[in-house]
Each structure stands twice: as structure tokens, then as C-alpha cells.
Structure 1
């Protein structure tokens, strides 16, 4: 039986949280972590600085997405497949950032900077990287 990566409680075989490796209670707590790009947010009272945290994720583009993106480079227009991959990369990286913050005892991450990098040597990988400070 799987265990939660955070609290080590058992996760049921059919529990949808098994994929993410956290129980539903820990996921609810992770979702409460506030993310902001502001360095000094006015609506928040920062009482303690814990540490710098980061999160990364790398998403592969399959052969078909790459092929259609290449056609879009020639003909022009938007590639919905590439946009979806970038969107999924961003969402995953921000969730991982919340998870990292929760694990070190933070309730917010301020000063987030989100960057996208193409990892050409890795075969058309898109990497979303929010750096929290």
C-alpha cells in the first residue's frame, strides 16, 4: 500500500491522490499555500523568512506535437498542443512549489519568477521553472 510522501499515512489503492504521492489531507493543506509574484505584498504580513525554495518540471513533447509545431512554424498560427504542454508545465511547477513551501513550514511563497526553457538537447522538452524566494 502506498504512503503519503509528507505525513506517511496510508493512501488507498483507488485514492486519486496516489498519483501525486500525497494524501487528501496533505493536498488540501498544500493548496492553501499562497503564491505571489510580489516581493513585498501589501495584503500579507510577513513575520518570518524560512528559506529559498524552487521547483522545476520538464515535459516532453511527443513526436506528433513536435511535427505539428514545425508545420505551424512554416504556416504561422498558434499551436494548441504546444500551448497545452506549456500550460501543464506551469501548473505542475507551481503545484510543486506549493508542495516544497508546505514541506518547509511556509504558508506563502513571495517573489515568484516563472521561466520557460527549451531543452533542445533533451529532445524537445519544455521546462517550467518558478523560483520562489
Structure 2
């Protein structure tokens, strides 16, 4: 499955638009990650624990969107857009939503 943020795929023709497809994943952060992130915030640097969580969440949302496109008979998704939101009481959860247009490429 070709997945692109662009509205077209170079050297390919879109023969059919199958519809909008989406994937959403919400994941809660746990206290261990919060403690590690707090320490990183104090001393500076990157938070590997949170970065890993964001990657896993993003990949899960992409997988869900691609399954949605496959159910529609698409072989590509164009115009993909990612949205990241912190939700829940005290921002304890992260949501990654991804959407695009499922298409058939010739």
C-alpha cells in the first residue's frame, strides 16, 4: 500500500477515489514514563520513553487507516494528515489520528 502526504503519486494515475479513511489510537502514559520524562525535562535531552510511545501510537493509527483502505479495495492513500492531541484529565493520554483519501492507482 502506497501512503503519501501528497495529493498525487508521481508517474501514477488515480483511476478511482474510494473515500476518506482514518485511523485513531489513544494511549495512556504510565507513571514510569512520567518519571523518566520529568528527569529528562530537568537535565535536558530527548525522552526515549515518550518518543517510543508516540512512534508506536502513530504506527498503530497508520495500520488502522491502511486496513480501512484495503477494505474499500484501495491500493494507495493520498493526502495523508496526522493530528496529535493530548487528552484526558491532566493530559494523561495521547491521541494520534491519521486520515487520507483511499484511491486506486493504475
TM-score by length of 2: 0.86
SS in 1 for 2:74: coil
Structure number with the bigger relative contact order (C-alpha 8 A, sep ≥ 6) is: 2
Once residues 93 and 43 of structure 2 are traced to their aligned partners in structure 1, the CA distance between those partners, rounded to angstroms, is: 22
Q: Please, which runs of 5 or more residues in structure 2 have no aligned partner?
A: 102-106
Among candidates 72, 77, 88, match of residue 45 of structure 2: 77
Tell me how far 1:44 sits from its aligned partner. 2.2
After the TM superposition, which parts of structure 1 deviate over 3 Å for at least 4 consecutive aligned residues? none
Once residues 122 and 45 of structure 1 are traced to their aligned partners in structure 2, the CA distance between those partners, rounded to angstroms, is: 47
Q: Please, which runs of 5 or more residues in structure 1 have no aligned partner?
A: 1-32
Among candidates 70, 77, 101, match of residue 109 of structure 1: 77
Tell me how far 1:79 sits from its aligned partner. 0.6
CA RMSD after TM alignment? 1.5
Residue 57 (structure 1) aligned with residue 41 (structure 2): no
Alpha-carbon deviations, 1:6-48, whole Å to 9, x = none?
xxxxxxxxxxxxxxxxxxxxxxxxxxx2211111222321001
Tell me how far 1:120 sits from its aligned partner. 4.1
TM-score by length of 1: 0.70
